[in-house]
């Protein structure tokens, strides 16, 4: 087909890897795919055979900063979250927009999340089609509220639908000044009113990169909304280190514990809590961290493909990011979710309601007794194990990437 497809992937690894999966599939059918992402992921992206353009925002550095920790402290308050994000991103916005524009030059098709409504602006500037990408349910519906505003469910269908409008409008108002300056001075486009971009968004094609098994399709989503299934990126050439293979073979399956790009205010204290809780529950652990901190019963590993590691675990303890949740549920083993903020509590709740793990344990409530109790529950309850196996089989049978490609092939 020969298109140049640009994908805006300015998030953590859990956001980048689904874009890699889609990008590789588009490349195999003849498209040239360029990912706009943090330089942290350049090797990962180019190693997958995709083109790369660096963006100045690094999610991990932002989260680890004092401002990022303050953002995490906002928990599930969407107003505090949007204000905090705006405060953190303000110094980066001009550079981010400049690099976004440079990276999108020559595109025939633009894929972007709702952040800053970048797909709308680039589509107008380049005069090419665009599609929205959602990694969590962000399309307005009366069936359930926006993941950032769960309390809206008490207001019924009207409150549910308004929660999406409120989150979208709040995010737009937070960055509108920077975006409109960019539109006028660099894109030669007129400034937008508070509501104009959202009217345009309602007509755009939407790719929901998650499974209908987890999020049944609401009846009020229009034909432009495509619930594709998760986009999984496997790394078939990856070879596990001997130390990891030896650890796995030296005893019963361990429990994986890792919180991705999320960081607590005292990571060392959190690590001590995790190790003590695993030992109290009588479990071995594979921990995301510095290999030098490994013990006889605790192996710390650096970045390891979840698709290889998770199926070999007794259970997976994670933060509830969309990408990690997809990998954990697809692995067919039980999950315990310790959400930090954003959409993570939503995914934690979905995993629990589907029976694959116990009640979520928010990261701010991590203590040795509480975590040890949940670890016993997630590893000893046969109902969790059976539910996880059923869900894993269902997710493995889906091909979200293929469905997404079918939708995109109709656009350009």
pLDDT above 90 coverage of the chain, percent:
73
By DSSP bridging, strand 51-55 and strand 206-208 are unpaired
Question: Two tokens at 241?
Answer: 């280190």
Task: Classify residue 246 by burial, with Cβ atoms within 10 Å: 0-12, 13-18, 19+.
Answer: exposed
Kindly report, residue by residue over 228-275, the tens digit of the pLDDT: 999 998 776 788 999 999 999 999 999 999 998 888 878 899 999 999
What's residue 85's pLDDT? Answer: 59
Domain 242-397 indexed as CATH 3.20.20.70: no
CATH superfamily of domain region 4-233+399-408: Glycogen Phosphorylase B; (3.40.50.2000)
Kindly report, residue by residue over 379-407, the tens digit of the pLDDT: 999 999 999 999 999 999 999 999 999 99
Rounded Cα distance between 121 and 298, Å, is 49
Tell me what the mean pLDDT of segment 140-160 comes to. Answer: 93
The winner for highest mean pLDDT among 80-89, 167-176, 323-332 is 323-332
pLDDT at residue 71 is higher than 80 = no
Rounded Cα distance between 296 and 76, Å, is 38
> Structural domain boundaries of the chain?
4-233+399-408, 242-397
Same fold, 4-233+399-408 and 242-397: yes
88 pLDDT tier (thresholds 50, 70, 90): low
341 pLDDT tier (thresholds 50, 70, 90): confident
What does pTM read for this prediction? 0.89
pLDDT at residue 59 is higher than 60 = no
pLDDT at residue 64 is higher than 70 = no
79 pLDDT tier (thresholds 50, 70, 90): low
CB 228 within 8 A of CB 403: yes
> Which of 6, 4, 12 is CA-nearest to residue 41?
12
Rounded Cα distance between 303 and 108, Å, is 34
What's residue 144's pLDDT? Answer: 96
């Amino acid at each position: 087909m020969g298109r140049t497809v640009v994908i805006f992937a300015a998030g953590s690894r859990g956001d980048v890897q689904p874009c890699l999966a889609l990008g590789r599939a588009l490349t195999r059918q003849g498209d040239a795919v360029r990912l706009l992402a943090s330089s942290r992921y350049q090797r990962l992206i180019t190693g997958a055979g995709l083109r790369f353009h660096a963006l100045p925002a690094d999610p991990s550095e932002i989260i680890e900063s004092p401002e990022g920790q303050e953002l995490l402290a906002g928990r599930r308050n969407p107003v505090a979250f949007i204000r905090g994000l705006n405060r953190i991103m303000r110094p980066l916005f001009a550079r981010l927009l400049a690099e976004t524009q440079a990276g999108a030059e020559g595109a025939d098709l633009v894929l972007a999340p709702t952040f800053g409504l970048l797909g709308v602006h680039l589509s107008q500037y380049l005069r090419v089609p665009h599609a929205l990408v959602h990694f969590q349910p962000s399309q307005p519906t009366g069936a359930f509220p926006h993941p950032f505003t769960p309390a809206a469910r008490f207001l019924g269908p009207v409150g549910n639908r308004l929660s999406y409008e409120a989150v979208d409008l709040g995010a737009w108002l937070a960055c509108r000044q920077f975006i409109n300056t960019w539109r006028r001075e660099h894109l030669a486009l007129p400034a937008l009113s508070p509501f104009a971009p959202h009217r345009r968004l309602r007509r755009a094609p939407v790719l929901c990169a998650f499974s209908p098994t987890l999020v049944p399709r609401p009846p009020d989503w229009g034909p432009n909304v495509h619930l594709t299934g998760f986009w999984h990126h496997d790394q078939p050439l990856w070879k596990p280190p001997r130390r990891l293979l030896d650890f796995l073979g030296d005893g019963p399956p361990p429990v994986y514990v890792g919180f991705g790009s999320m960081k607590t205010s005292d990571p060392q204290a959190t690590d001590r809590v995790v190790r003590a809780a695993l030992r109290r529950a009588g479990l071995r652990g594979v921990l995301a961290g510095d290999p030098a901190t490994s013990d006889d019963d605790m192996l710390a590993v650096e970045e390891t493909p979840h698709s290889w590691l998770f199926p070999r675990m007794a259970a997976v303890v994670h933060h509830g990011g969309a990408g990690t949740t997809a990998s954990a549920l697809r692995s067919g083993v039980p999950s315990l979710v310790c959400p930090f903020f954003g959409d993570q509590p939503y995914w934690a709740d979905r995993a629990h309601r589907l029976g694959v793990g116990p009640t979520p344990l928010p990261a701010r409530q991590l203590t040795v007794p509480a975590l040890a109790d949940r670890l016993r529950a997630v590893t000893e309850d046969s109902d969790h194990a059976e539910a996880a196996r059923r869900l894993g089989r269902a997710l493995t049978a889906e091909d979200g990437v293929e469905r997404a490609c079918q939708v995109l092939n109709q656009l350009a």
